[in-house]
């Protein structure tokens, strides 16, 4: 389940979604973009969406500026399974 939360820009994480307005597309779900990189530059927070080598978005914020993000819960940690016994008794 996802959560829409308000955080300060310095707490935005990679894979959060930020709102970019509807632009030319009227469908509201296309207005949320995935943050692919978070940087601190010159005292500001730079959030990059999309691929750096292709078309991407850049959003600049003050570190304490509040923004709304959609955040997915962290996946559960993978469980390590113990190796199963072979069941053979060493006979060929």
Look up residue 80 and give its two tokens: 């390590």
Look up residue 70 and give its two tokens: 């959609």
- What's the predicted TM-score (pTM) here? 0.69
Task: Say whether 2 sits in a helix, a strand or coil.
Answer: coil
- Secondary structure, 3-state, 7-71: EEHHHCCCCCEEECCCCCCCCHHHHEEEEEEEEEECCEEEEEEECCCCCEEEEEECCCCEEEEEE
- One digit per residue, pLDDT tens: the chain, 92 residues? 668 899 999 999 999 999 877 655 555 556 788 999 999 999 999 999 987 677 788 999 999 999 999 998 877 777 666 666 666 666 65
């Amino acid at each position: 389940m996802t959560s829409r939360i308000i955080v300060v820009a310095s707490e935005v994480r990679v894979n959060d979604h930020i709102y970019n307005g509807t632009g030319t597309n009227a469908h509201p779900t296309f207005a949320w973009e995935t943050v692919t990189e978070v940087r601190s530059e010159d005292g500001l927070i730079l959030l990059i969406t999309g691929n750096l080598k292709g078309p991407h978005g850049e959003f600049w914020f003050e570190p304490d500026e509040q923004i709304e993000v959609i955040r997915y819960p962290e996946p559960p940690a993978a469980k390590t399974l113990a190796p199963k016994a072979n069941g053979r008794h060493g006979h060929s």
